[in-house]
Amino acid sequence: MLPILLLLISCNNIESQSIKEANHTADQFNNYWYDGNAEITRYELKQSRYGEIHEGDAVLIFVTEEFRTDKQVKYEGGNRKNVVPILKLNMTKKFLTGLYPYSIMSSIFTPIDINKKTIKVSTTSQEWCGHTFSQLNRDGGDYSSQVFSYFQNEGDEKAKIKDALTEDGLWTTVRLNPNSLPKGDINIIPSTQFLRLKHLPTQKEKATATIIAHQDETLSDKLLSQYILEYSNIDRVLEITYESVFPYQIVAWKEKSKSGRIPSTTAVRSHQIKSAYWGQNGNGDRSIRSQLGLK
């Protein structure tokens, strides 16, 4: 049995509000995440790029899988010695910058066991100038990083990053157990999507993380929490807003500049379904996209 998970939230920004502890049981977890479907959520994306806001779609696809920790790939048969259950997130963003399109995708693989760190993150970015690929692999207590890019200054690079968390892993941690989100002063590898768009090296950065109660009835009729990650030495703040009760659905997020010189990227939940989408790959299944507000 999984233990009952308790979420304790600070209330700094909402005076005199009594925050109830969010919790879930093993049965709730299993019934939701092991029902044979993925959770697919579409967000109205307003992406900051080149000093302007570009409208588009963001989609978060959460699904449980079995994962080989030795090869760090999906388990598809054979010896089960190194197999663990994970929560996988595929995060996609699609938007236009003037004439040409951007397509960005990250895959994040995090053990169901909340005491273990995210095992793997891979990110691709494609636009008409070219494309990039980056990957983080859990390597003992550290992360191994690889970056492949058409840009000269970020070339093909490899690095070892010690004693760090991953920003990408926060998204799956929210869904597994928000109470286990890191708080206070931390060392963390920034979002791989952010690093590629900003052409920054993959390395750990100092940041401060807090959780506050949040109210916004336009986002949800449920009690909300907001996870805020503010970096010390790079111009980035991430705010993830999620429901404080199981299954801790993410309703919105914002990526903003501390300096305020750069427009903020925002995403707000608009549509959601549960679906075994991998089997819905015929022309007749295209109509399902309308349920997600996708063209």
Average pLDDT over residues 104-127: 97
Spell out the residues 6+ positions from residue 17 whose beta carbon is closer than 8 angstroms to its own.
11, 213, 215
Average pLDDT over residues 17-22: 36
Query: What is the DSSP pairing of strand 224-231 with strand 237-243?
Result: antiparallel
Residue 221 lies in a domain: yes
Model pLDDT, residue 16: 24
Place of tokens 């190194």: 82
Distance, CA of 242 to CA of 219 (rounded, Å): 9
Distance, CA of 173 to CA of 231 (rounded, Å): 19
Distance, CA of 266 to CA of 254 (rounded, Å): 4
* Tens digit of each residue's pLDDT (9 = 90 or more) over 139-152: 988 999 999 999 88
Residue 21 lies in a domain: no
Model pLDDT, residue 230: 98
CA nearest 194: which of 203, 185, 186? 203
**Mean pLDDT over the full length of the chain:** 91
Q: Is the pLDDT of residue 270 over 70?
A: yes
Average pLDDT over residues 109-127: 96
Q: pLDDT > 70: what percent of the chain?
A: 93
Average pLDDT over residues 59-65: 98
For 255, the domain range is 26-274
Average pLDDT over residues 224-234: 97
Higher-scoring residue by pLDDT: 252, 115: 252
Q: pLDDT > 90: what percent of the chain?
A: 86
Model pLDDT, residue 152: 87
Model pLDDT, residue 1: 39
Residue 239 lies in a domain: yes
Average pLDDT over residues 278-292: 96
Higher-scoring residue by pLDDT: 220, 17: 220
b/e per residue, 94-107, with b = 16+ CB within 10 A?
Answer: bbeeeeeebebbbb
* Tens digit of each residue's pLDDT (9 = 90 or more) over 238-259: 999 999 999 999 999 999 999 8
> What total of structural domains would you count in the chain?
1
User: What pLDDT band is residue 77 in, cutting at 50, 70 and 90?
Assistant: very high
Q: Which helix (H) or strand (E) element contains residue 191?
A: none
At 92, list the tokens: 């996609």
Model pLDDT, residue 14: 29
Residue 287 lies in a domain: no
Spell out the residues 6+ positions from residue 234 whose beta carbon is closer than 8 angstroms to its own.
190, 200, 205
Higher-scoring residue by pLDDT: 35, 4: 35
Q: Where are the alpha helices (DSSP H) in 12-72?
A: 26-33
Residue 36 lies in a domain: yes
**Rg of the chain's alpha carbons, rounded to an integer?**
19
Distance, CA of 39 to CA of 25 (rounded, Å): 19
Model pLDDT, residue 113: 95
Residue 295 lies in a domain: no
User: What pLDDT band is residue 29 in, cutting at 50, 70 and 90?
Assistant: very high
Q: Is the pLDDT of residue 6 over 80?
A: no
Residue 288 lies in a domain: no
Distance, CA of 208 to CA of 3 (rounded, Å): 28
Residue 74 lies in a domain: yes
Q: Is the pLDDT of residue 24 over 90?
A: no
Model pLDDT, residue 5: 33
At 214, list the tokens: 């949040």
Average pLDDT over residues 207-216: 95
The number of helix segments (H) and strand segments (E) in the chain equals: 3, 16
b/e per residue, 137-154, with b = 16+ CB within 10 A?
Answer: ebeeeebebebebeeeeb
- Cβ(31)–Cβ(249) below 8 Å: no
